[in-house]
A and B are shown apart, each in its own frame.
Chain A
Amino acid sequence: MTAGDEDRLVVDGLDVRVGPVGLLHDVGFRLRAGERVGLIGESGSGKSLTALAIMGLLPEGLAASGHVGLAGTDGNLLAAGDARMADLRGRRVSMVFQEPMTALNPLMKAGDQVAEVLAIHARRGGSGGSGRDRDRRALDLLDAVRMHEPDLVRRRYPHQLSGGQRQRVMLAMALANEPDVLICDEPTTALDVTVQAQMLDLIVEGARERDASLLFITHDLAVVATVCDRVLVMYGGRIVEAGPVQQLFTAPRHPYTRGLVASSDLDAVDAAGRLPTIPGVVPAAGTFPSGCVFRTRCERATDACAEPPPWTGQPDDGHACIHPYDDAPATP
């Protein structure tokens, strides 16, 4: 893939391996300016790994190959050194993690942590005002994420904050330097529903105001449908289907997507009141079958699925299945 004018982030042929075991295979997608794209799949499908590979934050021992390109910067981010990635992270690409308690520094006050993000990149860029300016800006940012009593919150340590407040601090930090790309990895999974609703609104607003592209990782289909324009479905370290939200959730073509959609609808029950499920469990990393990764759990699988299925359709709207569904699922 080559980067078009509108492309903010282009991922192409991304592979991640640990020793001989492949964890991600040929992952490719692009984020356009202002676009909100969801990445869904079950635990162990490779969603978080994709985000970490883009951010250059893969754990020790994991090797990434392929291409990750960011608009306005030359070359491959995967080949960029630590210093260069440190400059880009938090400034051009930033991330909100699922566990704010582990992502925030427990020994620093919330306001100082937001100001630090500003200070680090001000130093590198040589611009930015005094410490007092940054403190004021940090307060503005906390206010912008609709923190109640921001002046009080900025003087508190993470353990003194509620889950929702911590996640707001994380978002304020991620948005501090007006990034082009915002990656959110299950940012609301640990939150109460009413707090989640506020947080989703803030993320969408925060990205929209900055015209930032959003990559939103979650296992909750309803959240993705609420937040995103486009969806990528991952299974077994591969993207198995991609498409616009409306189409992908109303007429999923890949059997895995169809299974996910069916099992997430708690109103769709059979005569005995039971929910549709995907048979079996997600295999452990490195034990996915050859060929189509889903074929061991797929009711449509045939011998032909032992060969890797080619991608059918457009990069942004297609699937990797040789027995796709071509209709909308029957409404129960």
Chain B
Amino acid sequence: MTDPTPHPTSSERPAPGFRGDAHTRRGGGGGDGPRDDGPGGGGPGGGGPILEVVDLVRSFRRPRTSLFRSPGAVEALRGVSLEVRAGQRFGIVGESGSGKSTLLRLMAALDQPTSGTVSFRGRTVSGVPERRLGFLRDDLQVVFQDPMGSLDPRMRVADIITEPLVAQGHGDRDARLAELLDAVGLPDGAGRRWPHQFSGGQRQRIAIARALSTRPRVLLADEPVSALDVSVRAQILNLLADLVDAYDLTLVFVSHDLTVVRHLCDTIAVMRAGEVVETGPTAAVADDPQHPYTRQLLGAVPTLQGALAGRDAATLARRARADDPEEPS
């Protein structure tokens, strides 16, 4: 990276005090008034929820199919309540249509709920106009599944990564860029190149670097490894774990793959048809599932050890079929 500034483009990991420093630095700006350090303020160990969802409902209207009948509605979320505490690695598992991505979009205030509330560090974010969400945009960032769809193909990587900083008026973007590229394991020269010149795993690193640019407290990740090969998946999962540790991030990780969530997260919520059917510490949910649907999900996942021990496709199918809406037994 050519860095004309005299600032040390440090590759060092931020010290534990980093969070506080960054935080105070931002405190004066923004025009949002004083930062609300109410319930759930503080960093890890602060106690209260950093992200709280209460009785969240989101319904989408179906497209009209008849002139005379009003179109029906799809209830993507039907009364979801959950709490994410600071420092948690919170996994949300479910299949397509379970409402997990809708929930994540609502948490990030990218969509508005039909009813119910989402609050971030004690401040309500649902129903709040975008211009008053500056505090959320700084502190909560999202990484999406498809790194090709979420990176503008006509922007250089440097601009993609530092764009959130422009919007928020942060200075010294070159130094921050070098730091971010290093943190996500991309070469120095990556900033001058275009997204299409990178592989899927590297593009996901770019998306992660962009999400980290504003020094967020919370990282939401929507199926960030689903499109990746196993060896690249392992690299990105390690990277996420490293970054969560280094930056004291709270991670909300959405995936259809219970084994990935089990590996990365300390808490799991299992969703089905717009509802949370089971939630609890990873060890409890994954090793001793109480809800039949959780058991079904676990049973359907092929594993190398299981297969080598003789679990064939017919066995998997039987375990998955127990209560499948598409496959009544």
List, in ascending order, chain A residues with CB within 8 A of B199's CB. Answer: 43-44, 281-282
Smallest CB–CB gap between A236 and chain B, Å? 14
Smallest CB–CB gap between A181 and chain B, Å? 19
* Chain B, residue nearest A165 (CB): B326
Smallest CB–CB gap between A205 and chain B, Å? 8
User: How many Å lie between the Cα of A195 and that of B311 in the bound state?
Assistant: 17
B260 at interface (Cβ–Cβ under 8 A)?
Answer: yes
List, in ascending order, chain B residues with CB within 8 A of A164's CB. Answer: 326
**Is the beta-carbon distance between B263 and A220 smaller than 8 angstroms?**
no
User: How many Å lie between the Cα of A267 and that of B95 in the bound state?
Assistant: 22
List, in ascending order, chain B residues with CB within 8 A of A165's CB. Answer: 326
**Is the beta-carbon distance between A249 and B308 smaller than 8 angstroms?**
yes
**Is the beta-carbon distance between B234 and A198 smaller than 8 angstroms?**
no
Smallest CB–CB gap between A201 and chain B, Å? 4
If A42-B229, A260-B231 touch, does A246 touch B308 (CB 8 Å cutoff)? Answer: yes
* Chain A, residue nearest B229 (CB): A42
**Is the beta-carbon distance between B317 and A265 smaller than 8 angstroms?**
no
Smallest CB–CB gap between B138 and chain A, Å? 29
**Is the beta-carbon distance between A221 and B320 smaller than 8 angstroms?**
no
List, in ascending order, chain B residues with CB within 8 A of A274's CB. Answer: 238, 241-242
* Interface size class of chain B, counting residues whose CB lies under 8 Å from the partner chain: 35 or more
A192 at interface (Cβ–Cβ under 8 A)?
Answer: yes
User: How many Å lie between the Cα of A204 and that of B312 in the bound state?
Assistant: 9
List, in ascending order, chain A residues with CB within 8 A of B167's CB. Answer: none
User: How many Å lie between the Cα of A263 and that of B225 in the bound state?
Assistant: 13
**Is the beta-carbon distance between B200 and A263 smaller than 8 angstroms?**
no
Residue interface mask B307-329, A partner, CB < 8 A = 1: 11001111011011100101110
**Is the beta-carbon distance between A148 and B327 smaller than 8 angstroms?**
yes
Residue interface mask A186-224, B partner, CB < 8 A = 1: 000000111111101101110000000000000111110
**Is the beta-carbon distance between B259 and A266 smaller than 8 angstroms?**
yes
* Interface size class of chain A, counting residues whose CB lies under 8 Å from the partner chain: 35 or more
Smallest CB–CB gap between B106 and chain A, Å? 22
A278 at interface (Cβ–Cβ under 8 A)?
Answer: yes
If A148-B328, A196-B300 touch, does A225 touch B308 (CB 8 Å cutoff)? Answer: yes
**Is the beta-carbon distance between A203 and B241 smaller than 8 angstroms?**
no
**Is the beta-carbon distance between B313 and A194 smaller than 8 angstroms?**
no
**Is the beta-carbon distance between B317 and A197 smaller than 8 angstroms?**
yes
List, in ascending order, chain B residues with CB within 8 A of A57's CB. Answer: none
B229, B306, B311: the one within 8 Å of A219 (CB): B229
Smallest CB–CB gap between B225 and chain A, Å? 11
**Is the beta-carbon distance between B314 and A201 smaller than 8 angstroms?**
yes
Smallest CB–CB gap between A148 and chain B, Å? 6
**Is the beta-carbon distance between A197 and B300 smaller than 8 angstroms?**
yes
Smallest CB–CB gap between B92 and chain A, Å? 15
Smallest CB–CB gap between A125 and chain B, Å? 32
List, in ascending order, chain A residues with CB within 8 A of B258's CB. Answer: 193
Contact residues of B between 43 and 78, Cβ < 8 Å to A: none
User: How many Å lie between the Cα of A226 and that of B319 in the bound state?
Assistant: 14
Smallest CB–CB gap between B251 and chain A, Å? 13
* Chain A, residue nearest B261 (CB): A266
Residue interface mask B207-242, A partner, CB < 8 A = 1: 000000000000000000000011111110110011
List, in ascending order, chain A residues with CB within 8 A of B262's CB. Answer: 266
Contact residues of A between 223 and 281, Cβ < 8 Å to B: 223, 225-227, 245-246, 249-250, 259-261, 263-267, 269, 273-278, 281
List, in ascending order, chain A residues with CB within 8 A of B305's CB. Answer: 265
A162 at interface (Cβ–Cβ under 8 A)?
Answer: yes
List, in ascending order, chain A residues with CB within 8 A of B296's CB. Answer: 194
A163 at interface (Cβ–Cβ under 8 A)?
Answer: yes
**Is the beta-carbon distance between B316 and A226 smaller than 8 angstroms?**
yes
Smallest CB–CB gap between A257 and chain B, Å? 11
A146 at interface (Cβ–Cβ under 8 A)?
Answer: yes
B121 at interface (Cβ–Cβ under 8 A)?
Answer: no
**Is the beta-carbon distance between B234 and A275 smaller than 8 angstroms?**
yes
If A192-B95, A194-B324 touch, does A204 touch B314 (CB 8 Å cutoff)? Answer: yes
B10 at interface (Cβ–Cβ under 8 A)?
Answer: no
A194, A220, A260, A266: the one within 8 Å of B300 (CB): A194
User: How many Å lie between the Cα of A164 and that of B314 in the bound state?
Assistant: 17
List, in ascending order, chain B residues with CB within 8 A of A273's CB. Answer: 241
Instruction: Return 11 A-B CB contacts under 8 Å, by A number.
Output: A162-B326, A192-B95, A198-B320, A198-B321, A219-B229, A264-B230, A266-B237, A275-B263, A277-B231, A277-B234, A281-B232
Please name the 7 residue pairs, one residue from A and one from B, whose CB atoms are nearest each other, closest first: A225-B307, A201-B317, A197-B320, A263-B234, A192-B95, A200-B313, A222-B302
